[in-house]
Amino acid sequence: MKRIFEFGDSLGPDKVVHIYDHHSGLKAILVVDNVACGPAMGGVRMAPDVTTEEVFRLARAMTFKNAVANLPYGGGKAAILANPKVPAAKKETLMRAFGVAIKEITSYIPGPDMGTDEACMAWVQEETGRAIGLPSAVGGIPLDEIGVTGYGLSVVADVASEFCSIDLSTAKFVVQGAGSVGLHTASFLAARGALLIGVTDSQGTLFNPDGIDIDQLTELKRQGKSVLDYADGGKLSRDAVIDIPCDIWIPAARPDVIDADNVNRLKTKLVIQGANIPFTAKAEQICHDRNILVIPDFIANVGGVICGAVEYGGGTKEIAFQTIEEKIRKNTTLMLENVASTGKLPRQIAIEIAEQRIRRATAYRSKRHGPGLQLIA
């Protein structure tokens, strides 16, 4: 088949699927990147402006994420091109239409992502018979509700702090993005003694050097309000979150928020990537040159997919937290020890670990299952 995309390599993508359904108004993109380790597991995000290339990059991050966590799954990602704040009835219609469209693509297991939640996965599950991140009422482990990704980020912080001379019990941190991942990360870090001093959402940035009450902030967001509605603290522009001096800076929103043009504004020792692909490659290189330790996304934010894998295998919430702790602590330590001994970028080391596991799995698969771009219109 003619190759019509500029992206892709020997690992994948395996399938690129564009979906359009006139009756529901559904427009969606699915990328199954690599299935060497097993069926592709990855989230379904809802946003109006996602591109095919972005979905591929997110799917590749999932390939690496699942491989580096040594899970029996490959990587995939999907995007529904719609405003996530559509009325609930319309959202259900779109999610169910998406489920119908992917039912026969059994090499992909969907989960929640930005703009979708446990209820969305319940609708998809009913149409497909497969999903992760389901509500507890239907036997799932509601990963957004219990904050497993944020818990994993706090474990990363505990490990990484020893490699960059940070005392986590007195550290000050900033979160870019006040969604589920950002708020749960803040809560778990605060439980370890760290102090939240800055946080942003789509309306602006809240800054308080004396600390922000995370319970109050979470309640505000639950009510649909902005971080700027928090009573005590400075109110800054959304972009100003980059300029706040801190020990730990955590991007937990959209891709590519830090690039070569703004990375030098960061004043921190440690970056833990809660979002997927939040830094460009050039920005990560500049941080490395400035001795800012950047923990890449597919090492740091793997808690959600580990929980999903445990759920899919019939495990419990307690097993999920235990598995997240063990896998993330082990992989972060392995990566950082290699960074210290080689001087390579953390992402480079992490990719080498993931690719080694993928290629080892590939050796056991029939050549008819090998990667190769398939376009399904």
Query: Which residues are marked as active site?
Result: 77
Q: In one letter, which amino acid is 89? A: A
Given the structure tokens 């870019």, which residue do they identify?
176
Asked whether the beta carbons of 307 and 136 are under 8 A apart, the reply is: no
Given the structure tokens 């009325």, which residue do they identify?
87
- What's the CA gap between 327 and 339, in Å, rounded? 18
Residues tagged in the binding site annotation for substrate: 65
Asked whether the beta carbons of 3 and 373 are under 8 A apart, the reply is: yes
Within 8 A by CB and 6+ apart from 322, the residues are none
Residues tagged in the binding site annotation: 65, 149
What token pair was written down for 300? Answer: 């740091």
- What's the CA gap between 313 and 310, in Å, rounded? 5
Q: In the structure, how many helices (H) and strands (E) does the chain have?
A: 12, 13
Asked whether the beta carbons of 195 and 292 are under 8 A apart, the reply is: no
Pairing of strands 195-201, 204-207: antiparallel
What token pair was written down for 242? Answer: 């980059």
Write down the H helix ranges in the chain: 52-68, 88-102, 118-128, 143-146, 148-160, 180-191, 214-222, 281-289, 297-300, 303-312, 317-342, 346-362
Q: In one letter, which amino acid is 258? A: I
What token pair was written down for 344? Answer: 């390579």
Cα 338 to Cα 45, 286, 311: the distances in Å are 33, 19, 31
Cis peptide before 112 (omega within 30 of 0): no
